[in-house]
Amino acid sequence: MCFLTVFQTSQAGVSDAQRRIIDNQLFLLKEGMVSEKEVFKKAKKFDDKGVFGIGSDEMTREEYKEYLREKSFAIKD
């Protein structure tokens, strides 16, 4: 038996456009000039809605937090 393990390098649920928005806001976020909730709202506007809901991939709060952790930013809940 042979098992193949596939690792997905991109964060599921966080699109490329959302990553760019978040990455561009990281400095302001770290300096306290914007809140993490504001950045989430900005990035959320770029959810992949799909066609009539088919193929949609919307970013969840947990996926957003995980992406920020990957970028070495901790959210205080």
C-alpha dist (Å) from residue 29 to 24, 34, 53, 68: 9, 5, 32, 10
Band of pLDDT at residue 10, cut at 50, 70 and 90: very low
Query: Model's pTM, two decimal places?
Result: 0.73
| Under 8 Å between Cβ of 8 and 56 | no
| Under 8 Å between Cβ of 14 and 58 | no
State the average pLDDT for the chain: 81
Q: pLDDT for 45-76, tens place per residue?
A: 998 776 676 667 789 999 999 999 999 887 76
Residue 72 backbone zone (phi > 0: left; psi -120 to 50: alpha; other: beta): left
Quick one: pLDDT at residue 53?
A: 62
